[in-house]
């Protein structure tokens, strides 16, 4: 169930007060657990994130994984 990867989807970022175009849609549960303080305009199964908020999400999820990664370096 993949949509166009080129990002031609013109929906907006679902984060409250954010007017950027969405870059990715992520499972709301994942976003919520990674960024519990983030407020959304609406909460559906999947929320749209712009580039910036997706980056934040990735950073937040990375923090968890960083623990495992530390043993690597
Ligand atoms: Zn955003």
User: Where exactly are the structural domains of the chain?
Assistant: 22-67
Q: How far is the CA of 42 from the centre of ligand 1 (A)?
A: 13
Query: Is residue 72 pLDDT above 60, yes or no?
Result: no
Strands (E), 1-72: 22-27, 46-50
Task: Report whether 30 contacts 36 (CB < 8 A).
Answer: no
Q: How far is the CA of 46 from the centre of ligand 1 (A)?
A: 14
Q: How far is the CA of 71 from the centre of ligand 1 (A)?
A: 33
Alpha carbons within 13 angstroms on the beta-carbon side of residue 20 total 13
- pTM for the complete prediction? 0.71
Q: Which residues contact 56 (CB under 8 A, 6 or more apart)?
A: 35, 38
Query: Is residue 5 pLDDT above 60, yes or no?
Result: no
pLDDT digits (tens, 9 = 90+) for 6-30: 544 578 999 999 999 999 999 999 9
pLDDT digits (tens, 9 = 90+) for 30-64: 999 999 999 999 889 999 999 999 999 999 998 66
């Amino acid at each position: 169930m993949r949509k166009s990867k080129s990002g031609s989807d013109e929906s907006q970022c679902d984060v409250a007060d954010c007017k950027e175009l969405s870059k990715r849609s992520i499972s709301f549960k994942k976003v919520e657990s990674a960024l519990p303080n983030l407020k959304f305009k609406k909460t559906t199964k999947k929320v749209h994130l712009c580039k910036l908020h997706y980056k934040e999400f990735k950073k937040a999820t990375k923090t968890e994984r960083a623990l495992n990664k530390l043993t690597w370096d």
